[in-house]
Amino acid sequence: MTKAQPAARPVNPCFSSGPCAKRPGWSLQNLEDAFLGRSHRAKGGKAKLTDAIDRTKAILGVPEDYLVGIVPASDTGAVEMAMWTMLGARPVDLLAFESFGAGWVSDAVKQLKLADARVLEAPYGQLPDLGAVRKDADVVFTWNGTTSGVRVPNGDWIADDREGLTICDATSAAFAQDLPWAKLDVTTFSWQKVMGGEAQHGMIILSPRAVARLESYTPNWPVPKIFRMTKGGKLIDGIFKGETINTPSMLAVEDYLDALGWGESIGGLKGLRARADANLAVLARWVDETPWVDFLAEDPDTRSNTSVCLKIVDPAFLALDDKAQKAVCKALADALEAEGVAYDINGYRDAPAGLRIWAGATVETRDLEALTPWLDWAYAQVAPAKAA
């Protein structure tokens, strides 16, 4: 292992998995055109919000007959909005292979108390049996498990002639992975992941099938105001034209518009995805050459190109109990933070002990190339002693 400190350092040490690194070249000066001190419902404010919707739809290649809206409370709010307004009409399958998917299970079973809810689980590093999903049931799932580094490889497991709705939490996948829109009825994400935007704002994308559900079904529980997308049995279509349910931060909107402009300048979705793929390739080469570490995702086809989760496979480390393993990982992350080399790369609190390195499009490939020798250095500082 490398014990001497490497000479090169990442220019940007921000490898957090949310909020994520700002785009290359970002500056507060880029936000000087923000529509501040005015109502978001004024002509200028609505124009900014509509622009964010239209450009999101264009970059992601969302079909013309799908609706895109800006909603409160980040991706969490968007997923909850879908669950509280649409579930209960049919049986539902809930996929849980990391902490956020497990959270949607808890909400469906414990809060909404859905009687016909079936949970399909898998441990961290694996996917549930996707072939077991019922086509007559709704399904709620994360496309990319931010806390596990595991993503679904494609949408082939979703039936074209399905009767239920697909509700997809795509917050670490949107703008970095291909999303098969014909397979997705409700898709959600936040600005703070791949685009490096600010927190608290979510996006919800509805297919015509999802709109039909909203207009034909009324759940038997109270729905909070910020979740309501219909009035009198009809869709509140203003939500999808820049008329947000509650007051958005127009400074955050301007920041998102800046990120979208950057995304457009590098080739849109194709360019954004290519950057994330190149970043994953850097980490994959290092993992292949490094005996003490491996990907948490067991199948390369399910390996995330954004939230890269790593496990330590050094036998001396594996001999420790879980608490001690987590202490080693924290010490490693702390050592890198103290050097100003990498911030916030300790594994998620509910995940197995390990590291989580954001490799999305706003991260420069050269910064990950500079980071990997430092990972070796840091592990050499904190590695448990080998058994005699």
* 330 within domain boundaries: yes
The answer to whether residue 271 scores a pLDDT higher than 70 is yes
* 5 within domain boundaries: no
**What is the mean predicted confidence (pLDDT) over 245-270?**
98
* 218 within domain boundaries: yes
The answer on 241 and 154 residing in a single domain is yes
Round the average pLDDT of the chain to a whole number and report it: 97
The answer on 277 and 244 residing in a single domain is no
**What is the mean predicted confidence (pLDDT) over 80-108?**
97
**What is the mean predicted confidence (pLDDT) over 154-179?**
98
Confidence bin at 273 (pLDDT 50/70/90): very high
Cite the beta strand spans of the chain per DSSP E: 67-72, 92-96, 117-121, 138-142, 144-145, 150-151, 166-169, 186-190, 201-206, 230-231, 234-235, 293-295, 307-312, 355-358
The answer to whether residue 188 scores a pLDDT higher than 70 is yes
pLDDT more than 70, % of the chain: 99
202 pairs with which residues across the strands? 71, 190
The answer to whether residue 265 scores a pLDDT higher than 60 is yes
Domain at 88, CATH number? 3.40.640.10
* 124 within domain boundaries: yes
Domain at 284, CATH number? 3.90.1150.10
**What is the mean predicted confidence (pLDDT) over 155-166?**
98
**The predicted structure's pLDDT at residue 385:** 85
Which SS3 state, helix, strand or coil, does residue 303 take?
A: strand
The answer on 196 and 54 residing in a single domain is yes
The answer on 283 and 250 residing in a single domain is no
The answer on 116 and 56 residing in a single domain is yes
CA gap 20, 372 in Å, rounded: 19
The answer on 328 and 224 residing in a single domain is no
Please identify, among 218, 248, 264, the residue that sits at the C-terminal boundary of a domain: 264
The answer on 308 and 241 residing in a single domain is no
**The predicted structure's pLDDT at residue 1:** 47
Asked if 48 and 243 count as a contact pair (C-beta separation under 8 A), the reply is no
Please identify, among 264, 280, 307, the residue that sits at the C-terminal boundary of a domain: 264
The answer on 169 and 41 residing in a single domain is yes
* 1 within domain boundaries: no
The answer on 369 and 356 residing in a single domain is yes
Q: What does the longest C-alpha to C-alpha distance in the chain come to?
A: 73
How many structural domains does the chain have? 2
Which SS3 state, helix, strand or coil, does residue 385 take?
A: coil
The answer on 291 and 256 residing in a single domain is no
Confidence bin at 62 (pLDDT 50/70/90): very high
Which SS3 state, helix, strand or coil, does residue 196 take?
A: coil
**The predicted structure's pLDDT at residue 387:** 47
The answer to whether residue 386 scores a pLDDT higher than 70 is no
The answer on 306 and 248 residing in a single domain is no
CA gap 306, 359 in Å, rounded: 5
Task: For residue 75, give the DSSP letter.
Answer: H
CA gap 88, 91 in Å, rounded: 7
The answer to whether residue 124 scores a pLDDT higher than 60 is yes
pLDDT tens profile 215-232: 999 999 999 999 999 999
For residue 3, the Cα-to-chain-centroid distance in whole angstroms is 34
CA gap 124, 88 in Å, rounded: 28
CA gap 149, 145 in Å, rounded: 6
**What is the mean predicted confidence (pLDDT) over 242-253?**
97
Please identify, among 216, 249, 264, the residue that sits at the C-terminal boundary of a domain: 264
Nearest to 378 by CA among 323, 341, 327, 324: 341
**What is the mean predicted confidence (pLDDT) over 341-362?**
97
The answer to whether residue 388 scores a pLDDT higher than 70 is no
pLDDT more than 90, % of the chain: 98
The answer on 159 and 78 residing in a single domain is yes
DSSP states of 105-164 as a string?
A: HHIIIIIS--TTEEEEE--TTS---GGG--TTSEEEEESEETTTTEE---STTS-TT-SS
* 111 within domain boundaries: yes
Q: Domain of residue 305: give its range.
A: 268-382
Geometric angle at alpha carbon 334, from 292 and 3, rounded to 5° = 50
**The predicted structure's pLDDT at residue 80:** 98
pTM of the predicted model as reported, rounded to 2 decimal places: 0.97
